[in-house]
Each structure stands twice: as C-alpha cells, then as structure tokens.
Amino acid sequence: MLDLNRFDDIVDTFQFINDWDTRYHFLVELGEGLPQLDGIYRVDENLVHGCMSKVWIAAEPDDVKPRILHFVGDCDTATIKGLVAVLIALYSGHTPQAVLEIDADQVFEKLGLYDHLSPNRHVGVYAIVEKIKEISRRCDSKCRDEPMHQCQRAELQTGVS
C-alpha cells in the first residue's frame, strides 16, 4: 500500500521534473511500484468501465481508523497503471466524504498530466475517478452509523453491495 504522505512526494517530483519524457518515465515507475493486487480484487465488479485498459479498483478500510479508506488497484498497461498509482495516492487515507470532495482535475492540471494525455486516456482517468467515488459513496451511505470494517470489508473486496 502506498504511504499516505507519498502523494506530496509525487507532486514534488512532478514539479521538479521539467520535461515530459522524464515525467512519463516517472509515471511508469509509479505504476511499477504498486503492490501486487490480491486476486480477491480481480473480479468483474471491480473493473473500471469506460477505460480501454483493464483496470481494477477496490478499497479497504483502515484497520485502526475504520472510517478511512485505502484504495488498491492494477492495470494491464504501464501508463494507465502509473495514473492509477497517482490516483490511489491522492484518494487513499481519507474518509468517504473527503474522497468525494477531492477534485482530480485540479491535481492533474497542477501535475501537468492532462496536457500530455490522449483523449482516450482522459476518458479512462475520469472512469477511474468515478469508480473511486462510487466506492466512496457506497461506503458512506452503507456505513454512516457504524464502523466501516463491520459492514464493508467483504463488500469492498468484491464490489458487491
């Protein structure tokens, strides 16, 4: 799982790198650094629809702070896997309500990523963000009055509500 503070490191590195080729290689390295996705998450319910690549996104509640989500994911293409890593770092470590308030467009604009993504990859990023927010909405509505770990661990793993 990515460190909660790693997103700040990603932003700092992107701002330090001046040319797109080096940024692209850094993005691929981020994807390569994602932990191996457990097979329990590789189910149809966790597939991101609207993305040309095969992308799986799921979440786990924090063991200590059960209202906090940690996202996991994988992809079958290097560039999108790097974008998945950026999004996981951006959205992990927050409550479902906070996840819903994060504006990925602002972040990608700040990182200079949108300028270099094809229209198809833009659509894929939006689909991944929507999947993350869908998971967060489901967690927030299902688990509003009880700790998430009591009602969601199996649900998050399979995407079934």
> Could you give all domains of the chain from N- to C-terminal order, each with its CATH number?
6-158 (3.90.1010.10)
Query: Residue 119 to residues 4, 51, 115: CA-CA distances in angstroms?
Result: 30, 11, 10
Predicted confidence at residue 108, as pLDDT, reads 85
Whether residue 139 has pLDDT greater than 70:
yes
Predicted confidence at residue 150, as pLDDT, reads 41
Whether residue 83 has pLDDT greater than 80:
yes
Whether residue 132 has pLDDT greater than 90:
yes
pLDDT band for position 142 (cuts 50, 70, 90) = low
**Which of 140 and 42 is assigned the larger pLDDT?**
42
Rounded to the nearest 5°, which phi and psi values hold at 77? -125, 145
- Strand (E) positions, the chain? 55-61, 69-75
Contact 111, 11 (CB under 8 A): yes
Predicted confidence at residue 51, as pLDDT, reads 86
pLDDT digit string, tens, across residues 11-48: 889 889 988 899 999 999 999 999 999 999 999 999 99
Q: Is the sign of the CA dihedral 120, 127, 108, 34 positive or negative?
A: negative
Q: Which residues are catalytic?
A: 51
